Amino acid sequence: MDIYPGQIVYSMAGRDKGKYFIVIEKIDENYVYLCDGDLRKIEKPKKKKIKHIRLTGKVDRTIGEKLIAKQKVSNSEIRKSLKAMLEEVE
């Protein structure tokens, strides 16, 4: 399972079950940091086990490139990206 910044994932366990997030950083082979720009902001991302998320196959390349380059990403950018992806699915 190849996980990298900018991927959109679906939470399958925990309080946030059923919500979509963007991967901010892969910590190690077991954990990632996620945020949704709303309840989980970029300043305080959620640490989550990889086995508790499902990859959607969708990637926001602009956010991913910014995260890799250590540039600032705003919560509104993340919210807009997730909203556009959810509208695309429906």
What's the burial of 33, exposed, middle or buried (CB within 10 Å: 0-12/13-18/19+)?
buried
pLDDT for residue 1? 62
Give me the mean pLDDT over the 28-39 stretch: 94
pLDDT for residue 87? 83
Q: Tens digit of pLDDT for each residue in 35-64?
A: 999 999 999 999 999 999 999 989 999 999
In a domain, 22, yes or no: yes
Q: How confident is the model at residue 89 (pLDDT cuts 50, 70, 90)?
A: low
CB 53 within 8 A of CB 8: no
pTM: 0.91
Q: How confident is the model at residue 86 (pLDDT cuts 50, 70, 90)?
A: confident
Amino acid at 25: E
Q: How many domains does the chain have?
A: 1
Which CATH number belongs to the domain containing residue 25 in this structure? 2.30.30
Query: What does pLDDT average to over the chain?
Result: 92
What's the burial of 48, exposed, middle or buried (CB within 10 Å: 0-12/13-18/19+)?
buried
Containing structural domain, residue 17: 7-89
The yes-or-no verdict on residue 90 having pLDDT over 90 is no
What residues have CB less than 8 Å from 46, skipping those under 6 apart? Answer: 16, 21, 33, 34, 35, 40
